[in-house]
A and B are shown apart, each in its own frame.
Chain A
């Protein structure tokens, strides 16, 4: 069992809330509150969450756009939690990121070629070789190399995102963080980008951290998935298992809410759990289990006691009191969450 490429341990990112005339710190936005996960070389880990889940903050912290307020991150065995400017430069040769909005991540005044030159120049590629490298890159992301003279506004959304991907892989990183890479794209374009990312992963032996809110997409791209809510991981499992047997009530609710387009997908979804209420703000995290304000199974203990991640069967973990043998009696009267999921998954076999 080789060492994971990326190890995140109890990562915390708090943003101070300042108010009053003297800008006193009156509280904290706990954007990321104790997140741990590993990513193995060559695999794709999906991070799913809605607004306020902290998934984008995690990405920014890993790559150094934000600095962690607690916890640690290591890359290939080396601690990268607190890096100096020059150390960050080194890190960014190995870890890169693709942003969500293809348009705003490209400078409107620079041509594709000028944009792609930046990482090449920074890595010391001699001037004479840059153009051919750029041509190569464009062909790899399935773009016409002639497009390198174009400006972003002359490209479609899908083409722009390919440029972003080209830029990210130009210096051949090991880990690529994809922050909602297809959320701004039409579904037919999304499919092509996903296929491109898949091919590139094989070709360059890339490791992906795939951040998205689209559960159906995750099924197609990631080996393992972690579900986030209000700054914490609520459930983590192999992707297939997560879908077949979601354990956490939040995951079940998410899955049951997806608008699908076919009957067999409809039958596949867990029983309908329509959540009530709004997503709480990260400034005001609920006590005990963060999900208790909207959870259909919440009981007293959920409001009072915080929840660690409990192992559920061999490969999954869920942050829910239901899976704590000590609290089994609290959930006696409620419909058994576990068997409901189990029933559904056996019924469609």
Chain B
């Protein structure tokens, strides 16, 4: 983790909305989110399945299929330049040179029919320049002296990401790599053109614990050494805690809470955050909460007011009609919940984590209550991630 500097943020997302048009209607998936990544900072966006974090990431990277997706409002600025307005060429250039992407699944970034060495050297040699044409590609590849230099750069970088036997790996195909090695290759690939901002999707989620541990440690070191900024998307709070300086908690297409990492775990404010943290099994063996009742709301014809209201133990009338905006109550710390509203006090006091944990431990007494309650709440979840 590094100290965030106070200059202009490297990435700024403002009032982003993303809608998906489908046969059954328009799904308002992302509903006005703001987020910022400062230079040298690690920011985590944490949320569960269906919360829209992947859609957010794809919007930033410009990989959303539009249609069926639509971005009715929003600005995504990288170093002051609006990515949503920029031309395809501009965006590609930035993605190649300034932004590096690390995906979870090696098969989506690496072509299985080429060796690792081929692909990484290509990336190193051609940078982010995707549209150079076939002839130019062959020319550079076979005639340009730069290939050797590029290859060496790749080897150096692989060694830096602690890849055992870096030179031999170059001759392997992606399918021959173990989980940990694939992840390192992906990190190396992202770093090849020395980006300033890394965007990572569920790093290490599919890895074994001991390997995962190594990879996170490695990332930490790389971030410190190169003063990188990192925007990471994850559903794993533990990973977020290990890597990030600041956390955004996302629920049903909205940011419900944000705080510096230490704060959010010591003193989570939003009932959803509390419910989430309370549901994590504790190493020390204390009983965990029973999870959060209900499920995420429909994005097509979404509920008015707070999207968490149907599952919140503290929901009251205002929550169903009015949307709680993210209110900052300290530097970099904000929560979108009426329980924390200074202007209009709520029927309940802001709950502590323990109080919410206790709330969520109580089982519904009557199985019939579950059946009818869930009939409204347990609707099908779309694969919008």
Contact = CB atoms under 8 A, between A and B. Distances in A.
Asked whether the complex places CB atoms of A and B closer than 8 A, the reply is yes
Interface of A: 50-51, 139, 142-147, 150, 153-159, 186-195, 213-217, 219-220, 240, 243, 253-255, 257-265, 268-269, 274-279, 294
A202 B295 CA distance: 26
Contacts of B239: 259
B275 interface: yes
Interface of B: 48-49, 164, 178-181, 208-214, 216-217, 235-239, 241-242, 265-266, 275-277, 279-285, 287-293, 295, 363, 367, 370-372, 374-375, 378, 380-381
Contact of B48 (A143, A186, A215): A186
Given A139-B367, A188-B279, A144 B164 contact: no
A244 to B, nearest CB: 9
Contacts of A263: 266
Contacts of B211: 50, 278-279
B285 A219 contact: yes
Given A240-B285, A265-B284, A144 B208 contact: no
Shortest Cβ-Cβ A-B pairs, 7 listed: A259-B238, A191-B291, A192-B291, A50-B208, A191-B279, A257-B213, A186-B48
Given A51-B179, A279-B208, A144 B378 contact: yes
24 contacts: A139-B367, A142-B370, A144-B371, A144-B375, A144-B378, A145-B371, A156-B49, A156-B380, A188-B292, A194-B288, A195-B291, A220-B282, A220-B287, A240-B285, A257-B210, A257-B212, A257-B213, A259-B239, A259-B242, A260-B282, A261-B237, A261-B280, A268-B283, A278-B178
A102 B155 CA distance: 41
Given A144-B378, A186-B49, A278-B164, A50 B290 contact: no
A19 B276 CA distance: 49
Contacts of B284: 219, 264-265, 268
Contacts of B291: 188-193, 195
A222 B76 CA distance: 47
A153 B380 CA distance: 8
Of A143, A253, A260, chain B has the most CB atoms within 10 Å of the CB of A260
Nearest to B208: A50
Contact of B210 (A150, A217, A253): A253
Nearest to A189: B291
Contacts of B367: 139, 142
Given A258-B209, A269-B283, A279-B178, 8 more contacts: A216-B281, A219-B281, A219-B283, A220-B287, A254-B210, A257-B210, A262-B282, A265-B282
B208 to A, nearest CB: 4
A143 B373 CA distance: 10
Contacts, number: 152
A195 B280 CA distance: 13
Nearest to A259: B238
Contact of B275 (A188, A190, A193): A188
Contacts of B378: 143-144, 147, 156, 159
A274 B221 CA distance: 14
A314 to B, nearest CB: 20
Nearest to A156: B381
Nearest to B47: A186
B383 to A, nearest CB: 8
Given A156-B378, A259-B242, A50 B178 contact: no
A187 B209 contact: no
B47 to A, nearest CB: 9
Contacts of B179: 51
Contacts of A265: 282-284
Given A186-B49, A215-B283, A253-B210, A150 B178 contact: no
A146 B375 contact: yes
Contacts of A278: 164, 178, 180-181, 211
Contact of A257 (B209, B289, B375, B381): B209
A279 B283 contact: no
B285 A279 contact: no
B282 A192 contact: no
A274 B213 contact: yes
B209 A254 contact: yes
Of B209, B285, B292, chain A has the most CB atoms within 10 Å of the CB of B209
A278 B294 CA distance: 41
Nearest to A264: B284
Nearest to A192: B291
Given A215-B209, A278-B180, A190 B380 contact: no
A278 B290 CA distance: 36
Contacts of B374: 142-144
Contact of A150 (B238, B293, B380): B380
A260 B295 CA distance: 25
Nearest to A262: B265
A261 B277 CA distance: 8
A347 to B, nearest CB: 14
Contacts of B213: 257, 274-275
Contacts of B178: 278-279
Contacts of B214: 274-276
Contacts of B241: 259-261
Contacts of A264: 284
A261 B279 contact: no
A187 B210 contact: no
Given A159-B378, A261-B277, A275-B210, A188 B283 contact: no
